[in-house]
């Protein structure tokens, strides 16, 4: 993958049965950046620039039929001097096909896993990555994960408590994925109460990313055209962001 927002492999070496891969070096990932830069979440233009770059990288992956399957702050490298973001750690990535083949459900990091993955579906596709990006987006603004749970069941309950428990009319055939009979019914909360520092356009985009029904989730390509990024050029100028050509 040759792209400004995807980590670059410089060289692959074989010696005495050992494979060594040389990649770009970064001093920190997004997790460390959030923790050591308290004002980051209070700087909307920079949050927007970071999200835009993540979506550019994800769009490139999806255009080349590649699922990352483990998008999280620890796998997003940050060049602090130029405010560049590069997607890294492709150990769980897989190619996808049309029609979609079955994928493993034991992937990714729990807090960033999409509902369909938590439900045990093995037919998930690109929307699963978009859900993860949505979780990262919310975390950049909140400085803490949006959904929390130490087990799949507890995390699903947290998601439903915040976003509403799906029904047949909101997620067709959801009963074939999961038994929802013991989940409390509810419409969920207003995203503005969960991510209060995000403006109206950002909340709209976040809501499109965090659609519980995967088929209703926005694509990476469409997200890049969202009105939230209308002023992205100005935000990049303010943030001194420069791509590595």
Cite the active site residues.
70
Best CA proximity match to 134, nearest among 106, 164, 112, 163: 112
Helix segments in 68-225, DSSP class H: 115-118, 126-142, 152-163, 191-194, 200-209, 220-224
What single DSSP character describes residue 95? E
Give how far the C-alpha of residue 218 lies from the chain's centroid of Cα atoms, to the nearest Å.
12
Q: How far, in Å, are 6, 62, 146, 197 from residue 164 at the CA level?
A: 34, 28, 14, 21
Whole-number Å distance between alpha carbons of 153 and 124? 18
Whole-number Å distance between alpha carbons of 3 and 12? 18
């Amino acid at each position: 993958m040759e792209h400004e927002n995807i980590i670059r492999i410089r060289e692959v070496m074989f010696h005495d049965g050992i494979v060594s891969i040389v990649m770009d070096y970064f001093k920190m990932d997004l997790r460390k950046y959030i923790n050591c830069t308290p004002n980051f979440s209070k700087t909307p233009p920079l949050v927007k620039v970071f999200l835009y770059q993540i979506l550019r990288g994800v769009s490139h992956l999806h255009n080349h039929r590649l699922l990352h399957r483990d998008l999280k702050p620890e796998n997003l490298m940050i060049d602090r001097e130029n405010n560049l973001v590069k997607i890294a750690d492709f150990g769980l990535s897989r190619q996808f096909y049309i029609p979609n083949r079955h994928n493993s459900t034991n992937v990714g990091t729990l807090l960033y896993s999409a509902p369909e993955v938590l439900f045990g579906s093995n037919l998930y596709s690109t929307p699963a990555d978009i859900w993860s990006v949505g979780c990262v987006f919310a975390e950049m603004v909140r400085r803490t994960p949006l959904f929390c749970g130490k087990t799949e069941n507890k995390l699903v309950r947290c998601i439903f408590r915040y976003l509403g428990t799906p029904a047949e009319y909101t997620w067709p055939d959801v009963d074939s994925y999961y038994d929802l009979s013991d989940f409390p019914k509810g419409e969920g909360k207003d995203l503005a109460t969960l991510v209060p520092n995000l403006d109206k356009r950002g909340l709209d985009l976040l809501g499109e990313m965090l659609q519980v029904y995967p088929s209703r989730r926005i694509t990476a390509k469409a997200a890049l055209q969202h009105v939230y990024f209308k002023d992205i050029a100005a935000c990049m100028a303010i943030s001194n962001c420069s791509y590595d050509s």
